[in-house]
Amino acid sequence: MKKSFLQKKWFKEQVSHHEKPLLRYCLALTGNKEQAQEIVQETFIKLWSEDFLKVQTHVAPWLYRVCRNSSIDYHRRRKKMDPFDESKNTEVEHIQMPEEEIEKNEIFGVINDFPPEQQEIFILKFQEGHTNIEISEITGMSVSNIGIIIFRGLKIIRDTLKIERVV
Amino acid sequence: MSQTYDEEKLSKYILGELSLSEQAEMDEALNSNHELKAEIEELLSVACNIQESFASISPSEELCLNSDLASELSNATYDKPSRLGERYNQIYEGFRKYNPYLPEFLFILCSLVLCVIDIRDIVTSGKSVTEFASLSYISCALLFFYIFLLIKRARKEASLFDSLLESDVITASKSRVTPLTLLKITFFLVFAVLLLML
């Protein structure tokens, strides 16, 4: 479908608005800058080929979901090529928190010890600012499950920081 | 109220995702439970700290796409397609040379033929209807379900390629051989062989 002037303008706005957050999220999922760039680029190409009317009401969760699925595919392909890769067999196998930040901030140190799914939810919630409903749309988990995971994570962070301060 | 429900609602309260009426209800409940209120206040401050910590990381300037993607796609025409579609172009061109669904369909065809032979033997031997629960019927049903999944996958791929073609991101359109066309051809061959068998 040929895009109208308004549609092109809307697309440009989406790219400039979501480019950096998507790259940051993808980098956390893949741990590889070039791969993250490629995934985000393909995500925008897929958005371009979509009917904008269908996606414009939920474009952010749509973009994050496509990026997430591509990142999971990337890990699957990498695992096939490296049979000695012993990473856990979960959907999101790996989240990479920025190392300098882990050293600087004790909160990131605690989040870094969370399971990958919980880390991803914390990133989507507190870094990207998504609502629980949007996170549910992106990850495929139920909204109530996401609420529980966040609540338990907050408790763990609070307890760990308390212990560290006492020590 | 179950423990699970409590945690979900408390989480929403901390993150400010409750409706006004629910929030007022929760405020009331917390006012009558000072221990829980103190805990929620602690968790609220933890949530604020996390938010501040994440906000303090500014996205790196180096972290950006290699090209002005929006302009590349907007300015693409059929004669001058976007170079971003090159990878898709290669896959699409590859479809004309090699049908990616053929091995799967050959496998299904062989299995279906074996099932049909088996079912024909049952029918011609005049056995009772109870034989309908035989393994061949179940295999046949599973194979048809597999075909259904395959069609769904091909349709999804075909729609992506078609929309990329229409928006001039790729140009491998001259033959108009889409994944769906290939699927239809293979399907036709499968049924032709089946009809001949019967």
Look at B14 and A11 and tell me if their CB atoms are within 8 Å.
no
Is residue B14 less than 8 Å (CB to CB) from chain A? yes
* Mutation for B interface: A118, A136, A154, most B CBs within 10 A: A154
Q: What pLDDT is stored for residue A84 in this prediction?
A: 54
Identify the residue with better confidence: A145 or B179. Answer: A145
Across the interface, whether the CB atoms of A157 and B50 are under 8 A apart is answered: yes
The pLDDT, as a whole number, for residue B140 is: 72
pLDDT digits (tens, 9 = 90+) for B38-88: 888 889 999 998 888 888 776 666 677 776 777 777 777 666 666 666 666
pLDDT digits (tens, 9 = 90+) for A93-114: 556 666 666 656 778 888 888 8
Q: Which residues contact B57 (CB under 8 A, 6 or more apart)?
A: A98, A101, A127
Examine the pLDDT at A89 and tell me if it is beyond 50. Answer: no
HSE of A122, CA atoms in CB hemisphere, 13 A:
34
Question: Which residues of chain B lie closer than 8 angstroms to A8, CB-CB?
Answer: 70, 74
Q: How confident is the model at residue B1 (pLDDT cuts 50, 70, 90)?
A: very low
Greater model confidence, A138 or B193: A138
* CB-based contact B136:B119 (threshold 8 Å): yes
Q: Rounded to the nearest 5 degrees, what angle is found at the Cα of A109, between the Cα atoms of A98 and A147? A: 95
pLDDT digits (tens, 9 = 90+) for B102-131: 777 777 777 777 777 777 777 777 666 555
Scored b (16 or more CB within 10 A) or e, B137-168 reads eebbeebeeebeebeeebeebbebbbbbbebb
From chain A, the residues in CB contact with B84 under 8 A are 41, 45
pLDDT tens-place string over residues B138-155: 777 777 788 778 777 777
Would an 8 Å CB–CB cutoff place B86 in contact with chain A?
A: no
